[in-house]
Amino acid sequence: MVALAGRHAIVTGGGTGIGAAIALALAEAGASVTISGRRASPLQDVAARSSRISALACDVTDAASVRAMLAKASEKSGAPDILVANAGAAVSKPFKAMSRADLDDMLSVNVAGTFNLWREGLAGIQGRGTGRMIAVASMAGLKGYPYVAGYVAAKHAVIGFTRALALELASTGITVNAICPGFTQTPMLEASVQNIVAKTGRSAAEAEKSLAAGNPQGRFIMPDEIAGTVLWLCSEEARSVNGQAIAISGGE
């Protein structure tokens, strides 16, 4: 088991789905965990499940909001050792129907959200002399998907960002990696299923089957699989894993 006692982890988008699973796994491994998000209620629900988890409201698209969250978190639990940029969003529509605002929304949450956490948290993590910076990207950062061009572009940017920063920090004891899940059983997936139902008239079961078909294992990824990968990346055994985009997709 990975032992993270004495470590402080920050997890954005920690109130639901993958972020909640990551926070709970890190806490179980002994870390002090600060979760953030825009909605207080789901954050508090997750924090209530472990005495090692604290919740702070934060908008990752706003650098000042991220800076304030990090200051409060560091005052309570010390400078961070682990920064997990998990907050993200996806909007589905044909490219010809996209507006510049649609693209900006995808870049703001997925790319600027990662940038803000890492940029504002870098000084604290560098002060530790070692650390882990992890982005929860997507298979959409490694390949294309139709009807989500803005999301695909944003997640590709996150992968490029990860690879560049990994090289900049390689000599500091800090590693920078991305995790690229396939379709994962989360509220975001449920929203995608309902979108397909609304636009195509197919049943929810048919929509789920069509999405799961992209995974050669014929199933959805579960949040605990992503959380387990985060734990491994935080371990000493993964100290040479740097600048990687790790696909968790059943072989997609």
Catalytic residue IDs: 151
Spell out where the chain has E strands. Answer: 8-12, 32-37, 53-57, 82-85, 131-136, 174-181, 245-248
123 vs 134: CA distance, rounded Å: 16
In the block, tokens 């371990």 appear at: 235
CA 85/CA 196 separation, integer angstroms: 28
What is the identity of the amino acid at 232? W
Helix (H, G, I), strand (E, B) or coil at 42: helix
DSSP 8-class letter at 135: E
Residues 6+ apart with CB under 8 A from 198: none
Closest of 3, 125, 38 to residue 15, by C-alpha:
38
**Does residue 81 contact residue 9 with C-beta atoms inside 8 Å?**
yes
